[in-house]
Structure formats: C-alpha cells, structure tokens
Homo-oligomer: A and B are copies of this chain.
C-alpha cells in the first residue's frame, strides 16, 4: 500500500471530517482509503497504512458495511478478505444521506407523532402542540422529498441541480404543463 502525499492529505482530512459526517476518525480514514484505491485492499493493509490496531480496523470495516458504503471482494485463491467501495460516488453519498436521515429524523418523527396524539392538557400545551405539529410536517416533507430524489436517479438529479434558478420559473409554469389530475392541490 502506497499512500502518496496526495492520498495521505485526503485520507487525513476525511478522518477529521468523519465525526461531522456521522462516523468517527478512523472510520472516515478507512473509507477514504478504500474509495481512493483502485485496487481492492485488505484489512491488514489498511491497518498498516493508517497505523491503527487490527481490532480498530475490524470495527471500522464493520461500521462501514453497516452503512453499506463498502463491500467485500473475494479474490479467488486468497483466504483473506478485500474491500472495495459499494458503488460510485453518487451511490455512496445517497447512502450517507439515507443513513443519517434514519438517525437524525426518523426517531423525532416517531416521537412527534406520539405526542400529537395526546389531548392537550391546557392552554400552554395547545400552543406547544401547534409548534410540534409544524415541526412534524416539515420533517415529513423532508423525508418524502429525499426519497423522491433518490428515485430520480443520478442523471435526472444532476439535471435538476444544474437547473438552478430555473426551478423557480418552472414552478410558476407547472400548472400549465402538468394536466390538472396531476396537480397537487
């Protein structure tokens, strides 16, 4: 395993950012290493390249598999396991979004649903429930929307993103182009 200066910088940076992205330092480093390597790479090579313990490496690989960001790659005739990214960059980014949605939004949505079922006990609670209901609706929209975007697939998503301010104009025209039965309200 090489680790040229360029790759080292990138790997170290992904380590630092790891915790902000939802995993820890070594998990971030391992992911960067696997993504940037054209070759499949073994757990031992990862541990050596990053100078981390074999145990920590194993935990990290398990974590990345649970996020579905990497997958095993069995080399015929080799006993040990090699690892490669679970897809292209778009796929990986999608998986990160999805996983974070599960951790950051879903639990709150489910609590809010429960809280909104209770009858408000007094005036204070009426006001609070209104706020909670707004938050609930917002989170539901975000969830529905992010599922929608995933279904679009990379190419259309790219078209949409590049559309930029055109989106606003398109929305103004939507009722003209989408027949009534498809309109939302």
| Interface residue ranges, A against B (CB under 8 Å) | 2, 4-7, 9-10, 13-14, 17, 20-21, 35-38, 88-90, 93, 103-104, 107-108, 111-112, 115, 118, 120-122, 124-125, 127-129, 131-132, 134-135, 138, 141-142, 144-145, 148, 151-152, 156, 158-171, 173-174, 176-178, 182, 184
Known: A144-B164, A161-B144. A104 touches B152 (CB 8 A): no
- Complex partner residue of A138 from B20, B89, B108, B145, CB under 8 angstroms: B89
Which secondary structure characterizes the binding site on chain A? helix
Query: Which residues of chain B come closer than 8 Å to A112, judged between CB atoms?
Result: 10
> How far is it, in angstroms, between the C-alpha of A150 and the C-alpha of B159 when the chains are bound?
18
